[in-house]
Amino acid sequence: MRKFLAIVVCKLGRFVGKLVGKGSSMPGKFALKICPDILRRVQLPPHIIAVTGSNGKTSTVEMIATVLRGQGKNVIYNAEGSNQVEGVTTLILTHATLGGKVNADVLLLESDERYAAHSFKYFHPTEFVITNLYRDQLTRNGHPESVFDAILPAIHPDTELILNGDDPLSSCFAIGHENVKWFGLNRCATDTETPTGVYHDGAYCPVCHAPMEYEYVHYNHIGAYRCTSCGHARPTPDYAATELDLQNGKLILDGQFTVALAFRSIYNVYNILAAYAACRECGVEGAAIADTLSSYILKNGRMQTFTLGQHHGTLLTSKHENSIAYDTNLRYIASTNEDCTVLIIVDAVSRKYFTSETSWLWDIDFDQLNVPHVKRVILSGMYRNDLAERFRFTGVQNWEVIPGIPDAAAAIRDSGSEALYVVTCFSDRDKLLNLPDVKKEG
């Protein structure tokens, strides 16, 4: 009876919530109050794929959903990003019959890394993709190892782990777990021999703290690592990107499936790899995955193009407090080789909570902007002084501070026609995009 009531209340709550434009977590919250173990009592689809990690969750989930739907599978997933247990409950119950059978072939969940253990208390994923573990939102997450410790209890012995073999920390989830599939990027032309970036999280083995060595590095501390003491090392991937040409936007998976990259970022490559591995594990042919993901454009709005005066602008959105996401966007700008202006905005550190914490700026490798084609860098927003002090410790010379975002936009509008890249967070992007002079595209 409680199960039935919880499902009815959730469905009704979701219906009303949609009418009044409310979020998706409240109906699930009510359902959990009525029947705390409701998620154990429902009949779930044969495939439950969860995706967690510091970066790439939303993109990976979007790609998996697109591929599986393209194969005719009925996929339900938390597209609204409600990735804690209440949102997951809403998703499941709104797609369940009143008897508790979830009408889908695949339940696909983007899972908050800190709350995964809570979400998977009453059921567990059949496939669990962990994209990576980096320094991310330390104001909320503590540090990568504390996130690792939070995810670990969420892993059921029967779950198949799909892990990034190139990440020395998240690969540790395989220790003591039998059912593991690895994805990874093989050596490619843009690799370096040693880790890049301001800090070096791959310096010491996450298992035994002995020094680690690298055969090659794709970015930051992601690559072919090997501990000099305990042998913790990059495994041979089950699903590999065997060739990558970022310049021409070409990726080859497992030596035979070619993907044309819509966004030529190494981040995008890892998201594709994670989605490819998950879809292959669900029985989809490699060629079909490659076809679907070729020129696939993410719908999550992280890359918005626009015009401002004579400038064609690209908004590169990444979370503040995530240095690797910033590094990747800066690396992208450095790779374009076209004259450009870069506007960096740090106005509200987070859109979800208050903080004045700006330590994360010191983890970002802004020196990547020290290239001839970056003609001008403008620092703007409330925390422009913190940005400016950080820039004083880079080799970048042509930076300036314009405190107000409208003033910064006006200064750009009134001068030149070079490309414009805006690097900022979800919390600040609309402060630029909503300016009258900014004309959004697409």
Partner 1 sequence: MELKILHFYPDLMSLYGSYANVSILKRTLEELGNTVTVERVDLGGDADLTHADFVYMGAGTERAQKAALLYFSKLGDAVKAAADAGVTMLFAGNSMELLGKTITDDAGKVYEGLGLADFTAVQNKKRFVEDVYGHTDLYEDAVVGFVNRCSVITGVETPLLTSMDMGHGNEGPCGPEGYHQGSVFASQLTGPILVKNPALLKIMVQAVYRHRGETCPEIPVDQYMAEGWAITAEQLKARCTK
Applying CB under 8 A, the span of 41-49, 232-240, 366-374, 380-388 interacting with partner 1 comes to: 380-388
How many residues interact with partner 1 (rule CB under 8 A)?
37
Stretch 221-280 residues interacting with partner 1 (CB under 8 A): none
Q: How far is the CB of 201 from partner 1 (least distance, A)?
A: 8
- Residue placing its CB nearer to partner 1 in the complex, 134 or 296: 134
Interface residue with partner 1, options 388, 398, 415, 440 (CB under 8 A): 388
Q: How far is the CB of 53 from partner 1 (least distance, A)?
A: 18
- Residue placing its CB nearer to partner 1 in the complex, 51 or 227: 227
Q: Does 356 contact partner 1 by CB under 8 A? A: yes
SS3 per residue for the chain: CHHHHHHHHHHHHHHHHHHHCCCCCHHHHHHHHHCCCHHHHCECCCEEEEEECCCCHHHHHHHHHHHHHHCCCCEEECCCCCCCHHHHHHHHHHCECCCCEECCCEEEEECCCCCHHHHCCCCCCCEEEECCCCCCCHHHHCCHHHHHHHHHHHCCCCCEEEEECCCCCHHHHHCCCCCEEEEEECCCCCCECCCCCCCCCCCECCCCCCEEEEEEEEECCEEEEEECCCCCECCCCCEEEEEEECCCCEEEECCCEEEECCCCCHHHHHHHHHHHHHHHHCCCCHHHHHHHHCCCCCCCCCEEEEEECCEEEEEEECCCCCHHHHHHHHHHHHHHCCCEEEEEECCCCCCCCCCCCCHHHHHCCHHHHCCCCEEEEEEECCCHHHHHHHHCCCCCCCEEECCCHHHHHHHHHCCCCCEEEEEECHHHHHHHHCCCCEEECC
| Residue window 193-222: x/- pattern of binding to partner 1, with contact defined by CB under 8 A | -----xxxx-xx-x--x-x-----------
Applying CB under 8 A, the span of 2-10, 32-40, 368-376, 378-386 interacting with partner 1 comes to: 378-386
Contact indicator for 279, 64 with CB cutoff of 8 Å = yes
Q: Does 430 contact partner 1 by CB under 8 A? A: no
- Residue placing its CB nearer to partner 1 in the complex, 296 or 399: 399
- Residue placing its CB nearer to partner 1 in the complex, 15 or 393: 393
- Residue placing its CB nearer to partner 1 in the complex, 149 or 414: 149
Applying CB under 8 A, the span of 43-51, 66-74, 134-142, 294-302 interacting with partner 1 comes to: 134-142
Q: Does 2 contact partner 1 by CB under 8 A? A: no
Q: Does 386 contact partner 1 by CB under 8 A? A: yes
Q: Does 320 contact partner 1 by CB under 8 A? A: no
Applying CB under 8 A, the span of 98-106, 142-150, 282-290, 431-439 interacting with partner 1 comes to: 142-150
Rg (CA), the chain: 22
Q: Does 142 contact partner 1 by CB under 8 A? A: yes
- Residue placing its CB nearer to partner 1 in the complex, 5 or 401: 401
Q: How far is the CB of 41 from partner 1 (least distance, A)?
A: 30
- Residue placing its CB nearer to partner 1 in the complex, 147 or 253: 147
Produce one character per residue of 135-166: b if its CB has 16 or more CB atoms within 10 Å, e if not: bbbbbebeebeebbebbeebbeeebbbbbbbb
Q: Could you tell me the maximum CA-CA distance found in the chain, to the nearest angstrom? A: 69
End-to-end CA distance of the chain: 49
- Residue placing its CB nearer to partner 1 in the complex, 226 or 373: 226
Interface residue with partner 1, options 2, 33, 101, 140 (CB under 8 A): 140
Applying CB under 8 A, the span of 79-87, 172-180, 326-334, 384-392 interacting with partner 1 comes to: 384-392
Interface residue with partner 1, options 307, 335, 370, 385 (CB under 8 A): 385
Return the bridge partners of 344, or none.
379, 423
HSE on the CB side for 114, CA within 13 Å?
10
Q: How far is the CB of 232 from partner 1 (least distance, A)?
A: 14
Contact indicator for 126, 147 with CB cutoff of 8 Å = no
Interface residue with partner 1, options 160, 327, 363, 428 (CB under 8 A): 363
- Encoded tokens for 441: 């595209």
Applying CB under 8 A, the span of 31-39, 84-92, 143-151, 370-378 interacting with partner 1 comes to: 143-151
Q: Does 176 contact partner 1 by CB under 8 A? A: no
Q: Does 382 contact partner 1 by CB under 8 A? A: yes
Residue with tokens 């805006």: 422
Q: Does 352 contact partner 1 by CB under 8 A? A: no
Q: Does 361 contact partner 1 by CB under 8 A? A: yes
Q: How far is the CB of 97 from partner 1 (least distance, A)?
A: 39
Binding residues vs partner 1 (CB under 8 A) = 135, 138-140, 142-146, 198-201, 203-204, 206, 209, 211, 354-363, 382-383, 385-386, 388-389, 392-393, 401
